[in-house]
Amino acid sequence: MKFIDLFAGLGGFHTGFSNSGFECVFACEIDSDLRALYKSNYGIEPYGDVTKIAAKDIPNHDVLCAGFPCQPFSLAGKKKGADCPSSGMLIDDIVRIAAHHKPKFVVMENVPNILTIANGTFWEYIVSSFESIGYVIEHKVISPVEIGIPQNRKRIFVVASRNSVVKTQSYWPTTIQDSEVANLRDFLDSTLEHKPLEHKKKILLAVWQNLLDNCTLPLKGAFSIVAPEFGANYPLEFGSLTLEQMKQYRGAYGESLAACTSWTDVLKKMPSYAQKNKKVSDWIISSVQQSREIYSSNKDYLDMWIGQLEKNYNSWQILEWRGKLGEYNIYSHLIQFRASGIRVLKPEIAPSLIAMTPTQIPVIPSENRYMSKAEAAKLQFLHTLPNIPDNTPRAFKALGNAVNAKIVELIANNLRHSLATYQAANAT
Ligand SMILES: C[S@@+](CC[C@H](N)C(=O)[O-])C[C@H]1O[C@@H](n2cnc3c(N)ncnc32)[C@H](O)[C@@H]1O
């Protein structure tokens, strides 16, 4: 049973389908570094841009795999999706190749919001395009945690099956109980090559831990502490106030605004998220209120603590607690240094590895280090690859772009069953 791997990337589809016993007969990938890597890992030289490949030049296959990019989207310029503003309908190339080769299955993966972008018109377009060439579409949102791998990563899996194929069983993997999910701890291996946490960030975490150890905190699973609110009392919506009225308040870290002679002076003493005439989000409003409450019940300690905190980076002044309820120990959690703040996450399950921002590589604070490439590869079930990019940001980008190979393997196993039945029926 043969498959092709369009938009091949690191080869999550390749690994999954090969593990299930399929043979890859063609791949394409536009990025030349990824092409070279694919060749070194799988012994197949991928072609380049899919839009330039004539369908007749692709060998016959039973399954067409396509992890197409969350792409720019436009329906001939008519119904432009707000999220995907420009050209490049790569889905059309998948349909073009499927129409020519008529594989029994087309398997695709993407982010779940392809169901809703452009008010659902993109998804309707995908479904109707495949129906028009003789396929039935099924989809399911699946995350690796549902099959036992400790990574939260919801992705939509789409199986288009030819009308002539008789479905012998569900195409989707059997999901498991929460208790059967492996603990991230079992996936971590500090002996593998990894990047240590920078000294400044170690100090920063220790300072935040001091706060957690010494303050009365809300008993909630999720809250954010916004340090600039300690001592502040300015109204969040201050756009309609006069300068004289504003001068009665205190800005970030309780700095008095009394001596300000202009709004420019005032804004210099305000937290970055509080700007004149800017609508503040509900999230900021509730975090600000909570932070002011924390300050008023721990004032003496926090007046001393403020001096310890590094103020050069806005995001270091916000702690986003998404960890365990009431167990306020950073070192028994996972951390991400996000643009919005320092996010503390439950330690058992890794957050989604994402391609766009290698800065969000999870940190294991108890070991003063970042997650390694090898550990991330394991979370994508791509740890058997002989080669991943040497460069850490590139490796995390490619791993974050990849499809989870174990989910693919389980789907491939189910398709294989239907394919075998189809082939047996057509042989007689
Ligand atoms: C979401 S990633 C898919 C990753 C892949 N499924 C994996 O497991 O690694 C999309 C890939 O499509 C590639 N790509 C984008 N435009 C392309 C095109 N026109 N032709 C071929 N590949 C393309 C990107 O370089 C990227 O590696």
Looking only at the bridges linking them, the beta strands covering 23-28 and 63-66 are unpaired
Is the per-residue pLDDT at 80 higher than 70? no
Is the per-residue pLDDT at 192 higher than 50? yes
The number of beta carbons lying within 10 Å of the beta carbon of residue 239 is 11
pLDDT tens, position by position, 5-16: 999 999 999 999
Nearest ligand 1 atom to alpha carbon 28: 21
Dist CA 140 CA 127 (whole Å): 14
Active site residues: 70
Average pLDDT over residues 242-254: 96
C-alpha of residue 31 to centroid of ligand 1, in Å: 8
What is the side-by-side strand order in the sheet with 369-370?
A: 223-226, 318-322, 341-345, 334-338, 363-364, 369-370
Average pLDDT over residues 371-400: 93
Distance of CA 230 to the CA centre of its chain: 32
Nearest ligand 1 atom to alpha carbon 49: 20
Going by pLDDT thresholds of 50, 70 and 90, the confidence category of residue 39 is very high
**Cβ(362)–Cβ(195) under 8 Å?**
no
In a mutational test of the pocket of ligand 1, which residue from 29, 53, 153 has the highest number of ligand atoms less than 8 Å from its CB? 29
**Cβ(144)–Cβ(379) under 8 Å?**
yes
Residue 385's SS3 state is coil
What separation, in Å, do the N-terminal and C-terminal C-alpha atoms of the chain show?
A: 18
Q: How confident is the model at residue 19, as a pLDDT?
A: 98
Please report, for the chain, the start and end positions of each structural domain, with discontinuous segments joined by +: 2-181+402-427, 199-371
- What CATH number labels 2-181+402-427? 3.40.50.150
Q: Hey, what are 355's tokens?
A: 């391609």
Query: What residues does ligand 1 touch, defined as CB less than 6 Å away?
Result: 7, 9-13, 28-31, 34, 49-51, 67, 69, 90, 401-403
Would you tell me the crossing angle of helices 392-401 and 32-42 to the nearest 10 degrees? 80
pLDDT tens, position by position, 328-382: 999 999 999 998 899 999 999 999 888 667 678 999 999 999 999 999 999 999 9
Residue nearest to atom 12 of ligand 1 (CA): 7
Is the per-residue pLDDT at 210 higher than 60? yes
The number of beta carbons lying within 10 Å of the beta carbon of residue 126 is 22
Nearest to 416, CA basis, from 23, 100, 15? 23
pLDDT tens, position by position, 136-174: 999 999 999 999 999 999 999 999 999 888 888 899 999
Mean of all residue pLDDT scores within the chain: 90
Nearest ligand 1 atom to alpha carbon 67: 6
Average pLDDT over residues 385-407: 93
Going by pLDDT thresholds of 50, 70 and 90, the confidence category of residue 71 is low
Nearest to 16, CA basis, from 37, 39, 42, 47? 42
What residues contact 11, with CB distance under 8 A and at least 6 apart?
A: 5, 27, 38, 41, 42, 382, 385, 402
Q: Hey, what are 368's tokens?
A: 């003063």
Going by pLDDT thresholds of 50, 70 and 90, the confidence category of residue 76 is very low
